[in-house]
Amino acid sequence: MLTYSLIANNGFLFLIFSLGGVESISIGFFYLFIYSFITLGLFSCVIAMYDIQNNFTLKKISSLINFYEINYPLALSFFVFLFSIAGIPPLMGFYGKFFIFLVCLKNQLIFVSLLFVIFSIISIFYYLRLTKFMFFNRTKN
């Protein structure tokens, strides 16, 4: 799932770099910096999940059920990184996506901006599903 998320976010990155112009390029590098930090944090959390308790391995999404009871700080940091890459305010991922959205509107790419918002909203539902598994499910299926 994280791989598909990375592909979608790279699409946003390619969009901003394809617009050209000094403003677009600078916002593209800003988004690239934020995106690199968030991706590094997400994969660090996934790697850290390996040796938490009894060689916990994240093979299925259902493995995250009640993960906050196993390691609350790691579950919380994974949650923050997920919501940041989803673009939830006030996290840094929001500002990166917001500036890309503004540049698209400034270049009169209304349809592209609308698609950008729709794809971001769709991705939020997948991240909410992971959060539900980590914090709100009570039993393993």
Averaged pLDDT, 107-117? 90
Q: How confident is the model at residue 69 (pLDDT cuts 50, 70, 90)?
A: confident
pLDDT at 98 > cutoff 90: yes
Q: Are 104 and 15 in contact (CB under 8 A)?
A: yes
Q: Which of 135, 93, 98, 104 is nearest to 5 (CA)?
A: 93
* Phi, psi torsion values for 71, nearest 5 degrees: -150, 95
- Section 80-109 average pLDDT: 92
Total Cβ atoms within 10 A of residue 38: 22
- Exposure string of 87-101, with b = 16+ CB inside 10 Å and e = fewer, is bbeebbbbbbbebbb
Give me the pLDDT at residue 140, please: 53
- Structure confidence at residue 134 (pLDDT): 85
Q: For tokens 């991240």, what's the residue? A: 127
Inter-axis angle of helices 92-106 and 2-18, nearest 10: 40
Q: Would the pLDDT of 38 be above 70?
A: yes
**pTM of the entire predicted model:** 0.83
